[in-house]
Chains A and B, each alone.
Chain A
Amino acid sequence: MTAVLEATGLTVVHRTRSGPLHAVSDVDLTLHRHRTLALVGESGSGKSSIAKALLHLPPPTAGTVTLDGTDLATLTPRALRALRPRLQMVFQDPLSSLNPRRRVRDLVAEPLDAHPRPGTDREATVHRQLEAVGLPASFADRHPGQLSGGQAQRVALARALTAEPRVLIADEAVSALDVSAQATVLNLLRRLTEERGLAGLFISHDLGVVRAVSDEVAVLQLGRICERGPTEEVLAAPAHPYTRALLAAVPEPGRPLGDTGLLPTDPPSPLDPPSGCRFRTRCPLSDDRCAAETPPLLPVTPTRTVACHRPLLDRQA
Chain B
Amino acid sequence: MTGPVLDVRSLDTVLHTPDGRTLPVLRGIDLTVGPGECLGVVGESGSGKSVLARSVLGIHPRGTRATSTGAVLLDGEDLLTAPARRRAALLGTGIAMVHQDPMTSLNPVVRIADQVTEALTNRRRLNRAARLRTAADLLAAVDVPDPARRARAYPHELSGGLRQRVGIAAALAGQPRLLLADEPTTALDVTVQRTVLDLLDHHRRSRGLATLLITHDIGLLYGRAARIAVMYGGRIVETGPTEAVTTHPAHPYTAALLRSVPRVTGPLRRTLPAIPGSPPDPARPTAGCPFAPRCADARERCNTEAPPVHRPAPGRSVSCHYPLGTPESTP
Contacts and interface: CB of A to CB of B under 8 A. Distances in A.
A binds B: yes
B314 interface: no
Nearest to A40: B190
A251 B264 contact: no
A289 B45 CA distance: 48
Contacts of B221: 251, 253
Interface in B159-212: 159-162, 189-195, 197
A248 B198 CA distance: 14
Given A190-B271, A212-B272, A232-B268, A253 B192 contact: no
Contacts of A254: 222, 246-247
Interface stretch (A52-60, A82-90, A109-117, A178-186): A178-186
B247 A212 contact: no
Nearest to A186: B272
Nearest to B185: A251
A252 B145 contact: no
A22 interface: no
Contact of B256 (A180, A251, A266): A180
Nearest to A190: B270
B261 A249 contact: no
A15 interface: no
A206 interface: yes
Interface residues of B, number: 45
B16 interface: no
B194 A211 contact: no
Interface string B269-293: 1111111001000000000000000
A42 B191 contact: yes
A262 B274 CA distance: 34
A235 B161 CA distance: 25
A253 B274 contact: no
Interface string A2-24: 00000000000000000000000
Given A179-B257, A266-B161, A206 B44 contact: no
Contacts of A190: 270-271
B71 to A, nearest CB: 30
A232 B264 CA distance: 9
B316 interface: no
A71 B234 CA distance: 54
B108 interface: no
Contact of A211 (B143, B195, B264, B274): B264
B140 interface: no
Contacts of B121: none
Interface in A147-197: 148-151, 178-184, 186-187, 190
A256 B143 CA distance: 24
Contacts of A250: 190, 219, 264
Scoring B190, B195, B216, B261 by chain A CB atoms within 10 A of each residue's CB, the highest score goes to B190
A208 B194 contact: no
Given A179-B260, A180-B257, A253-B246, A246 B271 contact: no
A245 interface: yes
Given A148-B278, A255-B265, A257-B223, A183 B217 contact: no
B265 A252 contact: yes
B191 A260 contact: yes
A264 B262 CA distance: 28
A151 B100 CA distance: 24
A246 B194 CA distance: 10
Interface in B196-245: 197, 216-224
A301 interface: no
A209 B160 CA distance: 23
Given A232-B268, A253-B222, A265-B145, A245 B191 contact: yes
A255 B242 CA distance: 12
Which 3 pairs show the lowest CB-CB distances between chains A and B?
A: A183-B274, A180-B275, A208-B262
Given A179-B218, A180-B274, 6 more contacts: A184-B274, A249-B194, A253-B222, A266-B161, A266-B162, A266-B192
26 contacts: A150-B278, A178-B45, A179-B260, A180-B44, A180-B256, A180-B260, A187-B271, A187-B274, A190-B271, A206-B190, A208-B263, A232-B268, A235-B264, A251-B219, A252-B261, A252-B265, A253-B218, A253-B258, A257-B194, A257-B222, A257-B224, A260-B194, A265-B145, A266-B145, A266-B159, A267-B159
Interface of B: 44-45, 143, 145, 159-162, 189-195, 197, 216-224, 246-247, 256-258, 260-265, 268-275, 278
